Structure 1
Amino acid sequence: MAKYAHDLLSRAMMLEANHVSTPLAAVSHLVSSGEAYSDLTHYRSLVGALQYLTITRPDLSYAVNTVSQFLQAPTVDHFQAVKRILIYVCGTQHFGLTFRRTSSPAVLGYSDADWARCTDTRRSTYGYAIFLGDNLLSWSAKKQSTVARSSCESEYRAMATLFFLLSLFVPHHLQI
């Protein structure tokens, strides 16, 4: 995928971009209002290419999920967020997944939720990662389907999703 990332950066004319340490700014809260971005096709093309890159780049999942929510009507701020992701990719083209033999076949899962992250819908965003030993097997970052009334409820829903997914990885005769 390093070649794919290089080709994407070349197409976006960002091969010589300065590097940043995170794909999104820490205080980034994207909203649906603002000055409309003029080239919808360009925005959608870049976001689609970034979505494909997340197949082997879990570090991009949350950021790409965030900008993907504005495909219908992107603003200039949304495009700036896409550019930041591309700048991050420029400095991390060699990142990807590696799988190694593990001495412990333990299945571990982690989840987290960000209560009411979306200021437009008040829906929470959650993410999870499932490991087999030291190897990352599955990950995701998504907006929850319903509005949680508290941070506790939001975290509980993320954990319930994780337990369901873990049950798919662990044989039924073993306990999670």
Structure 2
Amino acid sequence: MSIVGALQYATLTRPEISFAVNKVCQFLSQPLEDHWKAVKRILRYLKATIHHGLHLKPCSLTSPVPLLAFCDADWGSDPDDRRSTSGSCVFFGPNLCVFFRPNLVSWSSKKQTLVARSSTEVEYRSLANTSAELL
């Protein structure tokens, strides 16, 4: 449990492990050998990518600074409860190009509270959550 708690803390600067850590957290009350193997795999991934992380870069104050947001969702891919997962990220900074990438300032990955009837409903919920985050 303490290792999984440390992994939750690590998701603050390593958002790409958020989904895997969240999945392991769902089984903390009755963990099995497979869950421990998943924790070890996450730890091996972190060790191999120790120099990766969030990089914040300055931008010019003379030109307008864009605010970009992206969102996506899957439709009932969790076999345990058939709920969908929404994800979004918000960037603030220079335009997307080869040399300048915007700064990631907010990200989210959350399991939706209801079981959706269609993929359109799932995508709409994801878009509504991302719009609320931007506002």
TM-score range, shorter chain: 0.7 to 0.9
Match of 1:106 in 2: 66
- TM-score scaled by length of structure 1: 0.67
Give deviations 1:87-138, integer Å, cap 9, x for gaps.
1001011111111112451111111112112212111111111100200001
Which of residues 117, 129, 137 in structure 1 aligns to 2:105? 137
Q: In 2, Cα distance between the equivalents of 1:130 and 1:96?
A: 16
State, as a whole percentage, how many aligned pairs show the same letter: 53
Q: In 2, Cα distance between the equivalents of 1:142 and 1:69?
A: 13
Name the SS for the 2:107 alignment partner.
strand
Contact 1:112 1:158 in 2 (8 A): yes
Segments of 5+ residues of structure 2 without an aligned counterpart are: 94-101
Match of 1:153 in 2: 121
Which of residues 83, 87, 92 in structure 2 aligns to 1:123? 83
CA RMSD of aligned residues (A): 1.2
Matched residues, number? 124
Q: In 1, Cα distance between the equivalents of 2:16 and 2:54?
A: 10
Moved more, 130-139 or 56-65: 56-65
Runs of 4+ displaced beyond 4 Å: none
Segments of 5+ residues of structure 1 without an aligned counterpart are: 1-43, 168-176
Give deviations 1:57-109, integer Å, cap 9, x for gaps.
11111211221221222221122111111110010111111111124511111
